[in-house]
Amino acid sequence: MNSLQKVLRWVGALVVLTSSALHAEEVTVAVAANFSAPVQKIAAAFAAATGHKATVVVGSTGKLYAQIKNGAPFHVLLSADDETPTRLGKEGAGVAASQFTYATGRLVLWSRQAGVVDDKGEVLRSGRFNHLALADPKLAPYGAAAVDVMAKLGLTASLQPKLVQGESIGQAYQFVFSGNAALGFVALSQVMVEGKVAEGSAWVVPAHLHSPLRQDAIVLNAGKNNAAAAAFMAFLRSDAAKALIRSFGYEV
C-alpha cells in the first residue's frame, strides 16, 4: 500500500467516525427503581451497539409520573407497571403506539441475614422481627404487590405495626440492607446475582398472591423525534437486552 492509499484510507475512516458521531444522540430514560441495576447494563450495551448515549434517571413510578406531568424532559419511561404508561398515553403525554411490556417482575421477601426468611414465607406469621420494609404502595407497584400479599395471607392487621415504608423499592431495599429492617418485600432483581440470591435468605413470592408485575415502556412526548429514543426502544426488544433482563430474575 503506497502513501496515497494510506492517506485515503485514513480519510475514509475519519469520515465514517465523524458521520457516526454527528448522528449519535442522547436519550434520557426515566426508570422505575426496581430496574436500576439491569438498565445500567442495558445502557452500556446500547451505547456499544448504537453509538447513542442513554442517561438514566431512577425513581418510584409514581414520582416519575408526577415529574413527567410537570414537564421533566424525559424521552422514555420504563415503568414498574403497565397502568402508568397507559395513563400517560391516554393523557397525551406519551406515544400510545410505542408502549410494550419489556419485563415481568418478581416480588421477594428478603433478609440480609441467613436463616431468617424460610422458603415459604412463614416468618411473616411468627412476628419474630423488628420491622418489615416495603415500598409506598401509592407510588410503587412493588409496594402495592406487597400489600396484596399480606392481605391474601390474612396478615394485614398483625403486620401493620411493624411496617416501614420507603418512597421506592430502592429505599425499601436500603432499609433491609442497612439492618434498619430485619426483612422486607423487594424486587428479586435487587438481590439476584448470576441467577441466585447473592446473600441472606429469601422467599420468592408466588405470582398468584399479587397482581402481575407487568412493566411497560413508552416513548414520551419529548422523545417523539429523538433518534436515540427510537433506537433504545428497539434495543430493549433485542435478544441481547432480553438476556440481560432475564439474568436479573425477570420474565420476558
44 and 169 in a common domain = no
pLDDT digits (tens, 9 = 90+) for 178-223: 999 999 999 999 998 877 888 999 999 999 999 999 999 999 999 9
Order across the sheet with 132-135: list the strands.
163-166, 132-135, 183-187, 107-111, 201-204
Residue 244, pLDDT above cutoff 90? yes
The mean pLDDT of 3-14, rounded to a whole number, is 44
Number of domains, the chain: 2
150 and 72 in a common domain = no
d(CA 168, CA 244): 23
The answer to whether residue 98 sits within a structural domain is yes
94 and 35 in a common domain = yes
92 and 12 in a common domain = yes
The answer to whether residue 76 sits within a structural domain is yes
Q: What is the CATH number of the domain that holds 232?
A: 3.40.190.10
Question: What local confidence, expressed as pLDDT, does residue 6 receive?
Answer: 44
The answer to whether residue 252 sits within a structural domain is no
What is the residue range of 144's domain? 107-204
Quick one: pLDDT band at residue 1, thresholds 50, 70, 90? low
| CB 58 within 8 Å of CB 33 | yes
62 and 83 in a common domain = yes
H helices then E strands: how many in the chain?
11, 12
The overall pTM is greater than 0.85: no
